[in-house]
């Protein structure tokens, strides 16, 4: 039987689950104050000083042998990005309840299931539990998805169980897992399958300074109105892939669209989240090739050159299969990519100036670059050189950006193979038909109910 006199630190492949400390207050405040993370839990904290009584109460419960709670950290980093615990422990009936909370920035990377697997293993083996259960809101898709991934079984639904901040009743759901149903290897198998099937993403350092990105990509128009018109036409929830700092996601949410933004670059999402604190937007940090959101959308769209960052056919198909799973019945997918004109299929080895911008501090930033093209892989690499003066010195930021050209017939074959019927082909944001001189290709597709073809 577990001895409460010494806290049980748990270690996984990527995580350290350790004792929570008062010094962790600022870290815990980040997710305990997030309205979206807390939307079905306790009232979000408003001030940093509120977090210390909260942590103290958890520690008191631990030493009273009522509750075990772990701080979730990455190996090599001591920043707390979540908590997970076992409570409602009944020694006679050998049961306990699991609860968890993670910062949004760490969602969709397998950390939740990895931490939960370690805690479940501890509960069944060290606490000699026979049953571990969880209570959640039935339409809390993130929580439900995690529980189902861990093989928890839905045991009952409490209709209109709680009145939530959105002004509606939500049903509660009870999930349970018995000791002989627990498979500690399921998380590892899932993660390994993802690792081996796809190659690492290309260098995306082009996007690691959001301020530079925003300086060069300003304004909602003309693309924003195009996306907004589609969102209104196919009313329902909308998912933007490659949302960046929220250039389109935020104005669309302000226009009344239920938005989710997904991006693989954490610095960009951090800016988007900061700008949209008063809006009900869900921000997802994830690779576009392997996201699973436990929610269905009426419209999913890629913006900018997001689709062009998928450098292989396997990458493109992985994304299309994810999108197919996430779309509601008859949902629409919009793919945006540049038309592969001759200018995008040649080498330009001589560095030439592309443009100049002045930032908010009056600093002039000059952008120049070179271009290489491989006709076999259809990959164009733009290497940008951004230069500015800082403290009397010239600063140079070099950022290679790999983009794959995809030709119209090639794209149509991919879409049809992966379960999409093409409804329209546009050549610009004015809804004009695709032609040989169009600057871009915008393919609007409907999810085919029959699924993907062989």
CA-nearest of 7, 16, 50, 19 to 32 is 50
Q: What is the pLDDT of residue 76?
A: 86
Look up residue 175 and give its two tokens. 């999930």
pLDDT at 329 over 50: yes
Q: What is the pLDDT of residue 294?
A: 66
pLDDT, one tens digit per residue, over 389-434 is 988 899 999 989 999 999 999 999 999 999 999 999 999 999 999 9
Coil/strand/helix, residue 220: coil
DSSP secondary-structure letter at 44? P
Q: How far is CA 206 from CA 203, 326, 354, in A?
A: 8, 28, 15
Look up residue 250 and give its two tokens. 């935020």
Task: Give the long-range contacts of residues 252-255, CB within 8 A, separation 24 or more.
Answer: 252/224, 252/227, 252/228, 253/279, 253/280, 253/281, 254/279, 255/228
CA-nearest of 379, 320, 302 to 347 is 379
Q: What is the pLDDT of residue 108?
A: 67
d(CA 115, CA 391): 45
CA-nearest of 327, 277, 299, 310 to 104 is 277
CA-nearest of 247, 274, 271, 270 to 259 is 247
d(CA 225, CA 428): 12
Q: What is the pLDDT of residue 190?
A: 45
Look at the domain 10-195 and name its fold: Aminopeptidase (3.40.630)
Q: Which H or E element spans position 99?
A: strand 95-102
In a 10 Å sphere around its CB, with 0-12 CB exposed, 13-18 middle and 19+ buried, how is residue 218 labelled? Answer: exposed
Q: What is the pLDDT of residue 192?
A: 44
Confidence at 91, pLDDT banded by 50, 70, 90: confident
Residue 392: Cβ within 10 Å count = 5
CATH number attached to the domain at 198-340+406-447: 3.40.50.150
pLDDT, one tens digit per residue, over 237-265 is 999 999 999 999 999 999 999 999 999 98
CA-nearest of 213, 144, 142 to 173 is 144
> How do beta strands 95-102 and 131-137 pair?
parallel
The residues near 316 (Cβ < 8 Å, ≥ 6 apart) are 307, 310, 406, 414
d(CA 149, CA 120): 13
Q: What is the pLDDT of residue 1?
A: 58
Can you spell out the DSSP letters for 123-192?
HHHTS--SEEEEEEETT-HHHHHHHHHTT-EEEEEEEEEEE-TTSSEEEEEEEEEEGGG--TTHHHHHHH
Q: What is the pLDDT of residue 193?
A: 44
pLDDT, one tens digit per residue, over 52-84 is 988 888 887 776 667 889 999 998 888 999 999
Q: What is the pLDDT of residue 121?
A: 94
Segment among 57-66, 271-280, 313-322 with least mean pLDDT: 57-66
On whether the CB atoms of residues 114 and 14 are closer than 8 A, the answer is yes
> How do beta strands 364-374 and 348-358 pair?
antiparallel
Q: What is the pLDDT of residue 189?
A: 44
Q: What is the pLDDT of residue 198?
A: 67
Q: Which H or E element spans position 249?
A: helix 249-254
Look up residue 35 and give its two tokens. 């309205």
**Most trustworthy range by pLDDT among 128-142, 183-197, 286-300, 303-317:** 303-317
Look at the domain 342-404 and name its fold: N-terminal domain of TfIIb (2.20.25)
Distance of CA 121 to the CA centre of its chain: 27
pLDDT at 452 over 80: no
Compute the average pLDDT of residues 35-44.
77
d(CA 300, CA 249): 12
pLDDT at 376 over 50: yes
Look up residue 379 and give its two tokens. 């990959």
Segment among 35-39, 88-92, 414-418 with least mean pLDDT: 35-39
Q: What is the pLDDT of residue 4?
A: 65
- Higher pLDDT: 140 or 337? It is 337
Confidence at 166, pLDDT banded by 50, 70, 90: low
Q: What is the pLDDT of residue 195?
A: 41
Residue with tokens 């806290």: 7
Q: What is the pLDDT of residue 449?
A: 59
d(CA 102, CA 72): 8
Domain ranges of the chain: 10-195, 198-340+406-447, 342-404
Compute the average pLDDT of residues 139-151.
83
Distance of CA 367 to the CA centre of its chain: 30
Q: What percent of the chain has pLDDT over 90?
A: 56
pLDDT at 105 over 80: no
Q: Which H or E element spans position 207?
A: none
CA-nearest of 321, 324, 315, 318 to 404 is 315
d(CA 101, CA 93): 26
CA-nearest of 404, 400, 347, 402 to 378 is 404
- Higher pLDDT: 250 or 165? It is 250
Terminal-residue alpha carbon distance, the chain? 53
The residues near 452 (Cβ < 8 Å, ≥ 6 apart) are 321, 324, 417, 418, 419
Q: How far is CA 307 from CA 9, 249, 289, 320, in A?
A: 42, 17, 10, 10
Compute the average pLDDT of residues 189-217.
72
């Amino acid at each position: 039987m577990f001895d409460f006199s010494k806290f049980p630190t748990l270690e996984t492949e990527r995580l350290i689950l350790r004792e929570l400390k008062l010094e962790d207050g600022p870290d815990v405040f980040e997710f305990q104050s997030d309205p979206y993370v807390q939307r079905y839990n306790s009232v979000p904290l408003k001030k940093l000083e509120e977090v210390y009584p909260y942590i103290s109460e958890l520690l008191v419960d631990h030493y009273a042998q009522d509750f075990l709670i772990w701080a979730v950290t990455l190996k090599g980093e001591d920043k707390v990005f979540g908590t997970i615990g076992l409570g409602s422990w009944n020694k006679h009936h050998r049961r306990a309840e699991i609860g968890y909370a993670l910062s949004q920035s760490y969602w969709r990377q397998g950390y939740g299931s990895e931490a939960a697997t370690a805690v479940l293993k501890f509960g069944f083996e060290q606490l000699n539990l026979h049953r571990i259960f969880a209570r959640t809101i039935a339409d809390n898709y993130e929580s439900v998805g995690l529980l189902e991934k861990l093989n928890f079984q839905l045991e009952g639904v409490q209709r209109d169980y709680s009145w939530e901040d959105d002004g509606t009743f939500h049903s509660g759901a009870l999930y349970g897992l018995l000791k002989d149903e627990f498979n500690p290897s399921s998380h590892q198998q899932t993660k390994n399958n993802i690792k081996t099937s796809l190659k690492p993403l290309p260098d995306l350092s082009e996007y690691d300074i959001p301020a530079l990105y925003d300086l060069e990509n300003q304004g909602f128009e003309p693309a924003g109105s195009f996306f907004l018109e589609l969102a209104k036409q196919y009313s329902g929830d909308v998912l933007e892939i490659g949302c960046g700092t929220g250039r389109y996601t935020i104005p669309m949410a302000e226009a009344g669209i239920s938005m989710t933004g997904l991006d693989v670059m954490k610095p960009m999402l951090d800016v988007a989240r900061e700008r949209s604190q008063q809006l009900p937007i869900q921000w997802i940090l994830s690779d576009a090739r392997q996201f699973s959101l436990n929610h269905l959308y009426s419209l999913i769209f890629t913006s900018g050159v997001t689709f062009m960052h998928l450098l292989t056919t396997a990458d493109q198909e992985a994304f299309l299969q994810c999108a197919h799973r996430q779309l509601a019945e008859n949902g629409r997918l919009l793919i945006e990519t540049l038309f592969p004109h001759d200018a995008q299929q040649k080498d330009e080895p001589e560095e030439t100036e592309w443009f100049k911008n002045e930032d908010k501090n009056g600093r002039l930033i000059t952008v120049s670059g070179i271009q290489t093209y491989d006709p076999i892989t259809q990959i164009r690499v733009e290497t940008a050189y951004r230069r500015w003066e800082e403290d009397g010195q010239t600063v140079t930021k070099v950022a290679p950006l790999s983009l794959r050209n995809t030709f119209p017939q090639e794209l149509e074959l991919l879409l049809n193979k992966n379960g999409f019927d093409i409804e329209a082909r546009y050549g610009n944001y004015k809804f004009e038909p695709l032609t040989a001189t169009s600057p871009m290709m915008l393919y609007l597709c409907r999810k085919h109910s029959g699924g993907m073809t062989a």
